A and B are shown apart, each in its own frame.
Chain A
């Protein structure tokens, strides 16, 4: 749980100067602390819950033993099945939520999110393509390929949407992104049909989830997650400036292009890594930053760490809920996040003020 540890430390300090220098960005220190505390409690409770459900009852007193040695069968189950699942849920959620927040900042567009802009679909398509062509492929090369797919899809959507006139309207960007996503998803389905006919793999690559999690996945994801999260937290101040508007940020001496490029690169690292181990878990990057913004305001110094916590909690609980859908079977968590996220997408789409066309 490197996520929660690193983010808690960064919460209170910067928020002071944020209120101070930029009165427009509302951050209430007490409120932030409360939200962070509640999220932490939720995370711990969710982790305990997630570790204790399953076909076999295992008392949690075995947890320390499971971490250290794993001798008894109970400890072994905890160590090799349930623990990686919980940890991976936290990591994937944190990665996708922070990527969403970054994307909304970089594109200056509340509808921007990795799943809407085609970034996740691009990563999935390339990963599935690689697996179809070279079945034995896994681990690090897959993640690098996922970066390529995510970057290609994201950049093409940006170019397509921007090929009209000057400023890109949020809705146009979202429409272009959603269409590109559906195109890539269709191509992925074609690949899956060619590859093998099992509902499990279809659902995994179309819906995404952590139900096949192993320590191997966690190890693959972790370095990229740490890199992405630290990079994102370091970007908080430039992003706050960018939120004031491009001209204002430039006037205050910021290199806007550099901020955008670094921000986009971080999005690609976070999404590519998360998607290549857990599939495209839906709507995390869209809804978590919006909920957090409602709760703690829009200063990225607190928004990014809290989004990481919130994303982790959301995927964790979605995974737990998904296990109650059809008890003996493992259902991908993405089914639950899609059900939760779609209405929020509807709400955001409706709220958009459209000036174009």
Chain B
């Protein structure tokens, strides 16, 4: 697998990242927090920064603060959680499959999860949304398995996995559209399932995804060394005493679970899982101990910006965050594709 080297070694780090990775990571975190506060104040009704601070501290006496807590805060928290989940999921997939083009949306996980989640919601109306996560997980896992199975032919090359993934995604998307036509939802709900959005989500959505992110992401960071070892190639990893197949399967399982949880609360947001890990590797290098948390930060930044742009471009109208990420991510994927070919 020649692509192994692309992921693990052939990455240049910026000099600041080489000398003080913690400083850079910290400043990214600060940037994300600042952006979150700014994002809290952007919306259909503008809220002043002082009100935002008051609301965050817990003073919800006036109306502006209530808007922040009720409508804006869940969105921003969700952007953090969903961005982290998608980006870490993408980072793990790229590391484990040793494929720079792997990402939950490329290998069919998001569309599969979206289809399964939507199917369940429509089949049993009034179902608590908590139940969607397991359904989305099963759908995502099935889609990923299907893609791997179909792409496997004396090995599965990165580009073929990507192509088969896109084909399988197209099949699931056709399914989503079929369900939408059979059971017309309102436009915003339909767009959530087709493109992904953080619109109209409440604190309960935050609580649904929180446990998944809180458990799985630290676990993956702890396992970052295993990811590095896997990146060396199967033979070397086995020589270093790593149960390769088992580790790979467990890590992929985690990655699919994270992506499925994200899809269950926010629909099929594309390209975050693909781009964020690439950005992280560019800046922090291929060591997963640094690049996994950095991917999470980049994912958060991407999703916050996308959501903010979607809200802020034409205030009463909401452009789903998934559309914004697709518009940014599409060209980046093309760039990667051109670069991988050389």
- Chain A: residues with CB nearer than 8 A to chain B? 160-161, 163-165, 169, 171-172, 174-176, 178-180, 182-183, 186-187, 189-190, 193-194, 197-199, 202-203, 206-207, 282, 325-326, 329, 331-332, 335, 338-339, 341-343, 345-346, 348-350, 352, 354, 356-357
Contacts and interface: CB of A to CB of B under 8 A. Distances in A.
A179 B153 CA distance: 24
B177 A207 contact: yes
Q: Which of A182, A345, A348 lies at the interface centre, i.e. has the most chain B CB atoms within 10 A of its CB?
A: A182
A203 B181 contact: yes
Interface size class of B (residues with CB under 8 A): 35 or more
A71 to B, nearest CB: 36
A165 B318 CA distance: 42
B49 interface: no
A190 B327 contact: yes
A176 B163 CA distance: 10
22 contacts: A165-B342, A172-B159, A172-B337, A175-B337, A179-B330, A179-B334, A179-B337, A186-B330, A187-B327, A190-B327, A198-B187, A199-B185, A199-B190, A203-B181, A206-B194, A282-B174, A331-B181, A335-B177, A335-B178, A338-B173, A345-B167, A345-B171
B338 A199 contact: no
A341 B178 CA distance: 13
Contact of B319 (A160, A171, A174, A190): A190
Contacts of A329: 184
Given A175-B162, A193-B319, A354-B159, 5 more contacts: A164-B338, A164-B342, A189-B194, A199-B184, A202-B190
A199 B331 CA distance: 28
Interface string B299-329: 0000000000000001001111001001100
A352 B191 contact: no
Interface string B263-276: 00000001000000
A194 B317 contact: yes
A354 B320 CA distance: 36
Given A165-B342, A193-B191, A346-B168, A335 B160 contact: no
B334 A160 contact: yes
Question: For the complex, would chain A's binding face be called helix, strand, loop or mixed by DSSP majority?
Answer: helix
A349 B167 contact: yes
Contacts of B323: 186, 189-190, 193
Interface in B81-109: none
A190 B318 CA distance: 9
B167 A194 contact: no
Contacts of B341: 164-165, 169, 172, 356-357
B167 A199 contact: no
B256 to A, nearest CB: 19
